[in-house]
Amino acid sequence: MLSESPEQPAIPPSWFAPAALPLEVDFGCHRGAFLLAMAATDGTRNFLGIERQSARVDTCNKRIRRRELPNAFAVRGEGAQALRDLLPDASVHILHVSFPDPWPKRRHEGRRLVKEDFLLEAARVLRPDGILRLMTDDAAYFAEMVALTKSGWSEVAWDDGIARPMTTFEMTFRKLGKVPFQRALSFPESNPAIARHQSV
């Protein structure tokens, strides 16, 4: 079920129509550098940014309007609940989660985005051929991502032949000589009923 917030415009409903363009989601899209660059170079897909900070969402949408990109849009949303509220079953081709906040202190680990509930929702919103792309510079968080995706998920090649720009944080880390950890995953048993069943 799609929720319509009075505070923000809704995602264009045509993006979820049967003949809609393939949908990529950039979760934690920041101010939209990656989202806009992708949308500008690939008019055959729609690009949705989800971001918890309203000011960043506004900046994204201002930039999208300025560049007149019909295939990009950003909405405010937070964590697994955003996927639950905003995205129908099997609607997403690629879900990008790039440099989610690492919360390195042990007592803050519970605040991390990539947890069981988020992954269950990711499995629900991905199409059967959909891909989750995780990228982080934090070794401990990456190890947790690997452990959490051991069951149900299958690793696929990171390089899928699509040339993508770097995200803002990727650029920053690479300039510092750091190489990010990357993991692309499919959920072969992708079945909304299973995911919903698991989440109750």
Ligand X SMILES: C[S@@+](CC[C@H](N)C(=O)[O-])C[C@H]1O[C@@H](n2cnc3c(N)ncnc32)[C@H](O)[C@@H]1O
Residues noted as catalytic? 101
Least gap, CB of 16 to ligand X (angstroms): 20
Task: Tell me whether residue 94 or residue 113 sits nearer to ligand X (CB atom).
Answer: 113
Residues forming the site for ligand X (CB under 6 A): 28, 30, 51-53, 56, 78-79, 98-101, 113, 167-170
Task: Tell me whether residue 115 or residue 191 sits nearer to ligand X (CB atom).
Answer: 115
Asked if residue 25 lies in contact with residue 95, where contact means CB atoms within 8 angstroms, the answer is yes
Tokens for 85?
Answer: 């509220």
* Residue nearest ligand X (C-beta atom): 28
Task: Tell me whether residue 45 or residue 96 sits nearer to ligand X (CB atom).
Answer: 96
Least gap, CB of 170 to ligand X (angstroms): 6
Asked if residue 164 lies in contact with residue 133, where contact means CB atoms within 8 angstroms, the answer is no
User: What distance in Å separates the CA atoms of residue 30 and residue 164, rounded to the nearest whole number?
Assistant: 17
Least gap, CB of 97 to ligand X (angstroms): 8
Least gap, CB of 66 to ligand X (angstroms): 20
Asked if residue 57 lies in contact with residue 49, where contact means CB atoms within 8 angstroms, the answer is yes
Q: Could you tell me the CA-to-CA distances from 40 to 11, 49, 165 in Å, in that order?
A: 18, 14, 11
Task: Tell me whether residue 26 or residue 45 sits nearer to ligand X (CB atom).
Answer: 26
* DSSP secondary structure, 67-128, as one string: TT-TTEEEEE--HHHHHHHH--TT-EEEEEEES-----SGGGGGG-SSSHHHHHHHHHHEEE
Rounded to 5°, the CA angle 197-199-200 comes to 70
